[in-house]
Amino acid sequence: MLVAFFSCSKEGTQELIPEFSKVNFEIRSLKQAPVLYSIKVNDFTIADSAAIVGQYTNVVERAATPQRLSITEIYSNTVLLDTMITIPAGESTYTIYQIDTAESAQPLFIVGGQATDVPVDSFMMAFYVNDPAFPETFDILVYKVVDFAYAEVPPVHIYKDVKRGSFTEFSLFVGSGFFMAEVRTPDGEMIPGMLPIDPQNPFGGGGTVEARCGFNINNHQIIKMAAADMGDGTYAYYQECMFMY
């Protein structure tokens, strides 16, 4: 929604009154205890007691230059986020992820801006890996299971040069069914100690993990990958869904 007003000066010329855009903010956190946040754009308060669950909407004045977004944890009076954003025309949505559950931990990242639609029968997926069993930098290869096999087909997407402890970008995956993921070095080699793909078992056997948070209606999924020690010097991947929305 874009609201613009015009007025006339005494000389009859038009003067443009500032434009306003609709913005939606939501905070997602792994914290279990109730937490309230204050959300501000410059000095304008979007919400003064935002909770983890829920979306908070307001109309703010647009500017030609980036505006300061600040989010404060009310009980501890700790500023969790202090960054600059450029609010686009129309309606936009921003999502702030607070992954670390430590007291007053800052959000790891913010996504948003102009709203985008995910096509039907598609979903957006990102990965997060912080397990010391993984190297500092690696690639994540995602395969789509075809006829209950995937070892002979090329990956549908490769997240290149993923940094341990960082989030990947969101990528679009088309179609229903099973998607599997494995980790390799940036040179395409297997990770030492990680179990290799088992082409006879595309549902998690060997060194693969299902790359999807089940069959659900959520358009965006963030998957955390980790490695389980098999007790014989080898590791097998496993995953958990961090966020779905």
Domain residue extents for the chain: 14-114, 122-244
Determine the residue type at 87.
I
Share of the chain above pLDDT 90, in %: 9
CA distance 89 to 206: 49
CATH for 14-114 (2.60.40, 3.40.50, 3.30.450, 3.10.620):
2.60.40
Please choose, from the candidates 122, 127, 237, 121, the residue with its C-alpha nearest in 3D space to the C-alpha of residue 182. 237
Cβ neighbours of 29 (radius 10 Å) = 22
Please choose, from the candidates 167, 163, 156, 165, the residue with its C-alpha nearest in 3D space to the C-alpha of residue 211. 156
CATH class as words, domain 122-244: mainly beta
Extract the tokens encoding 161: 């040069």
pTM of the model: 0.63
pLDDT grade for 5, boundaries at 50, 70 and 90: very low
pLDDT > 90? residue 78: no
Rounded to an integer, the average pLDDT of 161-174 is 86
Rounded to an integer, the average pLDDT of 189-208 is 64
Decide if 237 contacts 209 (C-beta within 8 A). Answer: yes
- Same CATH topology for 14-114 and 122-244? yes
